[in-house]
């Protein structure tokens, strides 16, 4: 069965591979690495790329932290045990070109000294302009990974993503969704190795899928109006991350490393009072797509 | 004793007077008014000015709403009674010029059909560059209003503002503070009329104070570096409003009118990974001022 060190090493290697792939596709930008220690135990390596040719601001964060489990977290997680170990990677990429989507991916492993462990993760796509062919490709790619492990994963984890990546006060999904899962552990049908293999396959999906979307759209021309719309959509991304995202909230309220947590925020975002796109415009079409329970597989 | 309709009328008149004063000082921008109904009872008038000569984006919102008190709010407020009435104004102004500060002001009145009522309010200043003379003037102006009513108000309400306008995850205050107070009701030393008079005087302070700061700094030249710093400070403003501000959180989680609640967000904001101002720079000096318990009165 995979042990924590093996899992952390695998995540760290994945972080490096993803950064290499993103740099190659970007063609100009290079990630800079900041290594940091966590006062209570462990630390991380935060990698940030800014001012690339395709990527305006992107972060790929790795951490492996451990220590005493605070009482309130113990209660919130409903676990026994006094010490925890947590490792994972977390990625958000904000491109310059509004035709290239924002993407997020996260894989995580958590264990407690009472023997409890679980994996979690997710990947979701936030196009500034929804392209149903691209969304269908994204969901088909994810489904094909899921199906190799368990035919129930895609429908279940897609539904969880629809619920999770939802901006309630706007009544909008963050983007076209993807998958999200948490607290996956051994069960009558899965052992730890099988769950880890699923998480690995989700992680390995990131680079080929996103570099493809970068390549497809990075040279598409765009107008000032489209750039303005991108900044408004990024405003929504900020709203989601600061108001709803569990990882962000957990980090902000437990004195995590703030710069690593908030590297998900875009270089530039915008808010306009009561902005409504013109009827029939591409912007309005995008808004109409930002709904739960869209069957993306059959839209492309 | 003042009744709810009289209080609401006074707030509505104040809203108009403030908008007139801001338009006059701006010289170009005009507020546009949106009137809206609240499905459960009451409504409001939201006024927004964008693209002025001094004000990039500013909102002055009035509302007077009533209806049934949801069970969870009843518990949170620890009150009996089934129906509430709430009226108030709320203002946030984001100027173009980084030498003009951001300002916020709010006055509110709340009553329940069990006879309970209270007033609340606050005014605070968020300079992109702290100017200790301006901050001293701001606090002296507030203190002189407070002292006319009760000598304990300024020290108590200034302290409450320091605690409230605090970005915990950054360990920074939002700006140079001001005053903040809530649940002020009649007491052995104050009746309802006296509390309302205090709230009125706080409200009347807004226009003369802020138009002075507009006039003082609107023509000051600024560099690209200073504009960039302004956008980063606005990013912090967004963090405060979305993560901590009680009014914003309450509105987002109770299906308030989203556009009126989020009109406080700036037209444009920015985030940079691990940005640290140069030692000795004006930006670093500003950061050093963003602390609780600064005795602004004696700094100017």
- Give the pLDDT band of residue A72 (cuts 50, 70, 90): confident
Out of B255, B259, B269, the one facing A269 most closely (by C-beta) is B269
Which residues in chain B have their CB less than 8 angstroms from residue A169's CB? Answer: 252-253, 255, 258
The two counts, helices (H) then strands (E), for chain B are: 9, 10
Which pLDDT does position B253 carry in this prediction? 80
- In angstroms, the CA B235 to CA A271 distance is 12
Distances in whole angstroms, Cα of residue A56 to Cα of each of A95, B17, B226, B236, B253: 5, 43, 21, 20, 32
Q: Which one, of A111, A45, A109, A122, lies nearest residue A82 by Cα? A: A111
Out of B239, B265, B273, the one facing A59 most closely (by C-beta) is B273
User: Are the beta carbons of A50 and B267 separated by less than 8 Å?
Assistant: no
Q: Tell me the two tokens of residue B138.
A: 């701001």
Residues in B 227-246 with any Cβ partner in A closer than 8 A: 231, 235, 238-239, 242-243
Mean pLDDT of B204-232: 98
- In contact, A117 and A88? CB cutoff 8 Å: no
DSSP 8-state assignment for residue B283: H
- In angstroms, the CA B49 to CA B212 distance is 18
Q: Residues B243, B248, B250, CA angle at the centre, nearest 5°?
A: 105
pTM flag (> 0.80):
yes
Residue of B58, B102, B169 for testing the chain A interface, max A β-carbons within 10 Å: B169
Long-range own/partner contacts, residues A191-195 (CB < 8 A, 24 or more apart): A191/A1, A192/A1, A192/A2, A192/A117, A193/A1, A193/A2, A194/A149, A195/A119
User: Are the beta carbons of A170 and B258 separated by less than 8 Å?
Assistant: yes
User: Are the beta carbons of B168 and A48 separated by less than 8 Å?
Assistant: no
Contact A9/B at CB under 8 A: no
State the smallest CA–CA distance between residue A27 and chain B in angstroms: 21
Contact B33/A at CB under 8 A: no
- In angstroms, the CA B237 to CA B104 distance is 11
- In angstroms, the CA B145 to CA B167 distance is 27
Domains and CATH numbers, chain A: 4-298 (3.40.1500.10)
Instruction: Write down the catalytic residue from A45, A94, A104, A139.
Output: A104
Q: What is the dihedral of CA A182, A184, A189, A190, to 10 degrees?
A: 130
- In contact, A102 and A140? CB cutoff 8 Å: no
Which pLDDT does position A73 carry in this prediction? 80
pLDDT digits (tens, 9 = 90+) for B76-127: 888 888 899 999 999 999 999 999 999 999 999 999 998 899 999 999 999 9
User: Are the beta carbons of B57 and A273 separated by less than 8 Å?
Assistant: yes
User: Are the beta carbons of A169 and B258 separated by less than 8 Å?
Assistant: yes
Is B104 assigned a catalytic role? yes
Contact A224/B at CB under 8 A: no
Mean pLDDT of A141-146: 98
| Residues facing A85 on adjacent strands | A66, A111
pLDDT > 90? residue B254: no
State the smallest CA–CA distance between residue B189 and chain A in angstroms: 39
Which pLDDT does position B78 carry in this prediction? 85
User: Are the beta carbons of A271 and B266 separated by less than 8 Å?
Assistant: yes
Q: Tell me the two tokens of residue A143.
A: 């489904």
Maximum distance among all Cα pairs of chain B, rounded to whole angstroms: 57
pLDDT > 90? residue A252: no
User: Are the beta carbons of A239 and B242 separated by less than 8 Å?
Assistant: yes
pLDDT > 80? residue A93: yes
- In angstroms, the CA A13 to CA A196 distance is 15
For chain A, state the CA radius of gyration.
19
- Give the pLDDT band of residue B140 (cuts 50, 70, 90): very high
Which pLDDT does position A250 carry in this prediction? 84
% chain B with pLDDT above 90: 88
């Amino acid at each position: 069965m995979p042990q924590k060190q093996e899992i952390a090493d695998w995540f760290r290697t994945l972080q490096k591979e993803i950064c290499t792939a993103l740099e190659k596709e970007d063609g100009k930008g290079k990630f800079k690495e900041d290594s940091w220690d966590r006062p209570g135990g462990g630390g991380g390596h935060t990698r940030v790329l800014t001012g690339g040719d395709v990527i305006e601001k992107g972060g790929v964060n790795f951490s492996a932290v451990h220590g005493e489990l605070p009482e309130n977290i113990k209660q919130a997680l409903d676990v026994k045990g006094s010490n925890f170990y947590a490792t994972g990677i977390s990625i958000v990429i904000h491109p310059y070109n509004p035709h290239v989507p924002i993407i997020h991916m996260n894989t995580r492993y958590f264990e407690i000294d009472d023997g409890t462990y679980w994996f979690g993760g997710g990947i979701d796509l936030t196009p500034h302009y929804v392209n149903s062919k691209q969304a269908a490709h994204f969901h088909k790619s994810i489904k094909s990974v899921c199906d190799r492990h368990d035919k129930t994963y895609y429908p279940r984890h897609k539904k969880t993503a629809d619920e999770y990546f939802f901006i309630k006060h706007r009544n909008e999904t963050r983007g076209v969704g993807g998958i999200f899962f948490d607290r996956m552990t051994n069960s009558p049908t899965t052992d730890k190795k099988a769950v880890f293999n699923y998480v690995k396959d989700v992680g390995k999906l990131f680079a080929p899928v996103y570099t493809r979307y970068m390549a497809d759209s990075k040279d598409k021309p765009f107008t000032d109006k489209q750039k303005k719309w991108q900044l408004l959509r990024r405003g929504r991304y900020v709203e989601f991350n600061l108001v709803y995202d569990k990882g962000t909230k957990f980090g902000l309220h437990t004195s995590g490393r703030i710069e690593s947590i908030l590297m998900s925020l875009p270089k530039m975002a915008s808010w306009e009072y009561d902005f409504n796109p013109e009827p029939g415009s591409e912007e309005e079409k995008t808004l109409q797509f930002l709904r739960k329970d869209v069957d993306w597989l059959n839209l492309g």
